[in-house]
A and B are shown apart, each in its own frame.
Chain A
Amino acid sequence: MKLFLKIWRQKDTKSKGSIVNYEIDGISPDMSFLEMMDVLNEKIILNGGDPVAFDHDCREGICGSCSMFINGEPHGPDRYVTTCQLHMRKFKDGDTIYIEPFRAKSFPVIKDLVVDRSSFDRIQQAGGYISVNTSGNPQDANAIPIEKESADKAFDAATCIGCGACVASCKNSSAMLFVSAKVSQFSYLPQGKVESTDRVLNMVKQMDEEGFGNCTNTGACHVECPKGISLDYITRMNSEYLKANIKK
């Protein structure tokens, strides 16, 4: 396959970036998107250029590192995959592919396609935990039976890999899907309910301080989420947040 790549190049956070054109040939449809990028970078390096920087690590769709905005969509045209699991068979010979970083004020570009998503970490530091001592001797794991349905919902929320595709796809750069998944993951469980009021208040406050946009329920985040996290969690967090405000 021969491809025409239009890649966002940006030296560092302060510099202004722009789209640079590359041509690449001999791409196998069985390659993953990142392997195609490897081939490109190898070519750039051997020509004495600066390879395209991009985040990647596990390359099996779970670490949430990869963060490319491909042809107008986070993680590209396929569904329920991250960029590393997107395969070139989803493209045709001769295609032009735009590759940009995830863009949001809260995700500043570090270099090329690498962005700083530490805002997600700070949101979780604001309350994304259950205050239990790790070195203690907690009660037996089966002491509190948990309804399977709640446990499953908590799990579904917890499948979030924190990649930021929700923010990237949202026309408003809202982080509501991420935050609501994190809030719900705990509030569905009896262990997490105890401090759910403070948790939702603090996490939403931090989310706002980070400069994410407002949710307008377009649903783009849910469609683009590699783990298919449901929009329902947003509605649920809205309700939880309102209740928490009434309580406190």
Chain B
Amino acid sequence: MKRIFKSSIGRKLAMALSGLFLIVFLLQHFIINFTSVIDPKIFNAFSHFMGNNPLVQFILQPILIAGVLFHFIMGFVLDWQNRKARPVKYVSFKGSSNSSLVSRNMIISGIVVLSFMALHFYDFWVPEMKYKYIDVLPENPDRYFEELVHKFEDPLRVGIYCISFIFLALHLVHGFASSFKSIGTNNKYAGIIKKISYYYGILIPLGFCFIAVYHYYSTI
């Protein structure tokens, strides 16, 4: 097994698996967040569970963070290797004639998503960690919705979030289907995977946008 992760295909497999893991997480994240639009109570219940269940907190959360870090670091490593594979660049390179803009710029959409995640962590994760583990404040199971809505009062933040979601969409539209290719999914499913990838990649980020905008308007 050592051999496989030393190989280019293995590295891509790792990239794909971490990506798919994040895709699953994203879906879960979306479903919970979407409940905030339906009923604050359900949202609070879910958030309380996620925030205080030891399995989630001490096993799933570290795995998730590791997954995120791995995906990003690996992304940079691969990109660095790919750049190294062509030391002298073309004077004229017309990528648009043979491939999509999105597929050629995963590193850019990835960096935007990464920057967004820094903001997102700063907005939610850092206060949450502070609340629970540094200040060790008593748990109030109803606080989550308030906190969420509070964040989306600022139009600038909503704007940044929405733009980031667009980049996330760009990243997903290629990344989703590409992951399945990298893990060697039977080609007979390629068509359907491409479709799912397309819809997933657009609908989920759109949903996140909707949540952010919804709460923005619900507060004014």
A239, B186: Cβ atoms under 8 Å? yes
Interface of A, helix, strand, loop or mixed by DSSP:
mixed
Checking B88, B94, B177 against A72 with a beta-carbon cut-off of 8 angstroms, the contacting residue is B94
- CB 8 Å contact bits of B84-115 with A (1 = contact, 0 = none): 11111111111101111001101000000000
- Nearest CB on B from A148, distance (A): 18
With A171-B104, A238-B181 known to touch, is A105 a contact of B99 (CB < 8 Å)? no
Q: A218-B100, A245-B3 are in contact. Are A212 and B85 (CB under 8 A)?
A: yes
Question: Given that A6-B91, A216-B106, A218-B103 are known contacts, is A235 also in contact with B187, CB under 8 Å in the complex?
Answer: yes
User: Is A98 an interface residue when CB atoms closer than 8 A count as contact?
Assistant: yes
Number of A residues near B (Cβ < 8 Å) is: 50
| Best-surrounded residue of B78, B97, B103, B106 (most CB of chain A within 10 A) | B97
| Structural contact, A105 and B86, CB atoms closer than 8 A | yes
Closest to A201 in B: B3
Complex Cα gap A72–B9 (Å): 27
| B residues less than 8 Å from A106 (CB atoms) | 85
Docked pose: A162 CA to B73 CA in angstroms = 33
B138 close to A (CB within 8 Å): no
Residue on A nearest B186 in the bound complex, by CB: A239
Contact A242:B184 (CB < 8 A) given known A105-B85, A204-B8, A219-B103: yes
Assess whether B1 is in contact with A242, with CB atoms less than 8 Å apart.
no
A19 interface contact, C-beta 8 A: yes
Residue in A73, A204, A238, A242 whose CB lies within 8 Å of B94: A73
Q: Shortest beta-carbon distance, B71 to chain A, in Å?
A: 14
A235 & B87 in contact (Cβ 8 Å cutoff): no
Q: Is B91 a contact partner of A104 (Cβ separation < 8 A)?
A: no
Name A217's contact: one of B4, B87, B94, B182 (CB within 8 Å).
Answer: B182
Residues of A within 8 A of B (CB): 6, 8, 17, 19, 69, 71-73, 77, 98, 100, 103-106, 109, 169, 171-174, 201, 204-205, 207-208, 211-220, 223-224, 231-232, 234-242, 245
